[in-house]
Structure 1
Amino acid sequence: MPPAMLTILLLSLSPVLAGSEGPGDGLISSLQAATSYLARAFEDFNLDGLVGYRFLKDWCKKLLKEWEMEPDKQSQYQQLAKIVEDVSPLIERAMDVLSQTDQEYVRDFGTIMKDDFWKPPGCWAETDPSLSYDSINRTECLPLEMSNLCIMTILGHGEENETTCYVPPMCRRIMTKSGCIGYSLSHQLFYSMIAIQNGCQDKLFQVESQRNRNVFCANMMIINQKIEEENYPFDQQDLFLENIMFCGMCGFSDFLKPTWLKTILSWQDPETGCFGKSISHSAGLWNPEIDSVSKIKDALPGEGTVHNDQENHIHRRVKRREKRLTDGCLCHMTSVAVGALAPFLSVC
């Protein structure tokens, strides 16, 4: 990022921790409220709902190291230290519950919840609009079952091969496929992120990874901008947050827009501290992925339809991804909101 643009970004976000009026005012208090919500509801969270809190903890730990000797950061330092102190045992307690109630999923994916698995970026960059796709797949091209299988093999829990970092040909093809949209696109990035954090040495990650990240986040930025243009429809908010959460962890600073921060903060329920409660849906489980696909394919250029087999795949995704809790809050949306807010802490 050019120094002048970085200076503008830092100045625009300076109220985040200073507590003065501005688009970033209230960030830490928002994260404190979300942590308090986890303290009340952790027994009902699934593993996907904890990932954002894991990201939050790792962002805070990074900043605590950087701010330890900075006198003007001591107030914020103490606040972040308290968040880490509070959220760490809550994640452990939630994982203990899941180890009893969802043993298979914890066995397959629990690695991504371990301490120090995620390492926030040490420098920032911006997405390159020239990397936008010339054409797109008009439907989700990565069913959750396939995404899970590829992640499992990277983590060493594949059915056919238990070698850590194994990349089946199918995963090599689908995880680099051009033109994917929605959650397929964000999960392509997530797969690459997990492989890098897991120390995988395949050339797909060591040679091609940064190029893939640049392409994925450039197109995720385009999707987020379109969501913004449509005034953030509720059925797009979960995807919007997930894109910021992942690309923020990859070090793309242009996802940390002050206007986006202000918007995200406005979505938080003031009574509970969770996200997704303010909108009423008749179904006990809401599927953000079905709605996001139909909206995105209408907004982006190209031709195509949602075929029945692909649509059925997407319908199965919700039962793992999103969970409406008994108080009306959305588990996954709360998680990605926390994960999306966390990188804003670093640009204050």
Structure 2
Amino acid sequence: MNSALIVFATLSLISANEPKLNDVISALDKATSFFESTYDRLSVDGVAGFRLLQAFQQVLHVDFWTLKPGWTQTDSSLVYPKVRILECFGEEMSDRCMIQLLGTWEDNGVSCQKTETCSRLMMALNCPDYSLSHQLLYMIIIEHKGCSNIFGAQHMDSKSFHIIEDYKKVFCSNMMQRNLEIENNDFPYFQQDLFLENVMLCGHVGFSDFYKARWLEYILVWQQSAGCFGKHDESGYSPREEQYVFTKHKRVKRREKHLKGGCSDHMTSVAVGALGGYLRFYGTS
């Protein structure tokens, strides 16, 4: 294919995706306006998409979320035959394990700290929901920080990278299964945050099948006129922090702040992350 044909094919692809790109850009623009108007009332959750303490500041850096070229797909054969009913670990334990990797457990702390407990929990199979997405985040941090010692290696060799990629594929294949279940249940509100977090994280590490066109349509519908995401029928400003609480649906609630009109800073944040992934996908696919 000569250069003229390559240019033509690229322009045709962009043109075909232009309506979707415009929709995504418009949604991101509205979300940005929302953040600008409420920045003084946001929790750090609402900025990064996770419960990030001040000690998690590395994850807020732009280079941490540098995207890699290339796409891959999940594998349904990797879906767990049985998933645990309850989360494998709580939020505090997750934070502790992330902090040990980042080296932010104290000033000038050593990164890539390995503990038997964190290794066992973060590499456990059959975990559901937020435990699963945090396991994926743990692998992302290992890769970013070059923590080869977690796998018993002295440096990030090809074997270490293969281990990380294998875990990513297992985790995202199961996160895909969870999202399909949520879709089959007509996207109940209490699962939309988890759905968006899965799209954001697995899309970030290159699983293109998370960027389904039909999912984008749902996400765009969930956005409120104010630019935020959250529960449409809530009103009034009621900041609250919700610990991991087990419900009859076996789902745990995230710490988040609910703003005027039912806007959720955490849900808005992960929605922005998911939409940003769609922007990349439609702009490069």
TM (norm. structure 1) is 0.68
Aligned partner of 1:268: which letter? Q
Query: Structure 1, residues 64-95: CA drift from partner, whole Å, max 9, x if none?
Result: xxxxxxxxxxxxxxxxxxxxxxxxxxxxxxxx
Matched with 2:30 is 33
Matched with 2:53 is 105
Q: CA offset at residue 284 of structure 1? A: 4.9
Aligned partner of 1:29: which letter? S
Matched, 1:155 2:99: no
What value does the CA root-mean-square deviation take over the aligned residues?
Answer: 3.0
Matched, 1:280 2:207: no
Q: CA offset at residue 119 of structure 1? A: 1.3
Mapping 1:40-189, distance limit 5 Å: 40-52=37-49, 105-106=53-54, 108-158=55-105, 162-189=109-136
Matched with 1:330 is 264
Query: Structure 1, residues 267-318: CA drift from partner, whole Å, max 9, x if none?
Result: 0001x10100413289753759657x64368xxxxxxxxxxxxxxxx5xx64
The 1:149–1:295 alpha-carbon spacing in structure 2 relative to 1, beyond 3 Å, is same
The 1:14–1:234 alpha-carbon spacing in structure 2 relative to 1, beyond 3 Å, is farther
The answer on whether the counterparts of 1:238 and 1:336 sit within 8 Å (CA) in structure 2 is yes
The 1:296–1:220 alpha-carbon spacing in structure 2 relative to 1, beyond 3 Å, is farther
The 1:328–1:13 alpha-carbon spacing in structure 2 relative to 1, beyond 3 Å, is farther
Give secondary structure in 2 for the equivalent of 1:36.
Answer: helix
Q: CA offset at residue 50 of structure 1? A: 1.0
Query: Structure 1, residues 29-78: CA drift from partner, whole Å, max 9, x if none?
Result: 000110111111111122221125x9xxxxxxxxxxxxxxxxxxxxxxxx
Q: CA offset at residue 226 of structure 1? A: 0.4
Which of the numbers 222, 246, 251 marks the counterpart of 2:177?
222
The answer on whether the counterparts of 1:15 and 1:24 sit within 8 Å (CA) in structure 2 is no
Which of the numbers 269, 274, 278 marks the counterpart of 1:340?
274
The answer on whether the counterparts of 2:137 and 2:201 sit within 8 Å (CA) in structure 1 is yes
Q: Could you tell me how far apart the structure 2 residues matched to 1:285 and 1:13 are?
A: 43
Instruction: Tell me the percent identity.
Output: 39
Q: Could you tell me how far apart the structure 1 residues matched to 2:145 and 2:219 are?
A: 30
The answer on whether the counterparts of 1:14 and 1:24 sit within 8 Å (CA) in structure 2 is no
The answer on whether the counterparts of 1:30 and 1:265 sit within 8 Å (CA) in structure 2 is yes
Q: CA offset at residue 157 of structure 1? A: 2.5
The 1:195–1:281 alpha-carbon spacing in structure 2 relative to 1, beyond 3 Å, is farther
Q: 5+ residue gaps in structure 2? A: 1-11, 152-159
Give secondary structure in 1 for the equivalent of 2:64.
Answer: coil
The answer on whether the counterparts of 1:176 and 1:188 sit within 8 Å (CA) in structure 2 is yes
Matched, 1:236 2:183: no
Q: 5+ residue gaps in structure 1? A: 1-10, 55-103, 298-313
The total of aligned residue pairs comes to 262
Report the more deviating stretch, 40-49 or 181-190: 40-49
Q: CA offset at residue 253 of structure 1? A: 0.3
Matched with 1:77 is none
Aligned partner of 2:58: which letter? T
Give secondary structure in 1 for the equivalent of 2:88.
Answer: coil
Q: Could you tell me how far apart the structure 2 residues matched to 1:235 and 1:118 are?
A: 27
TM (norm. structure 2) is 0.82
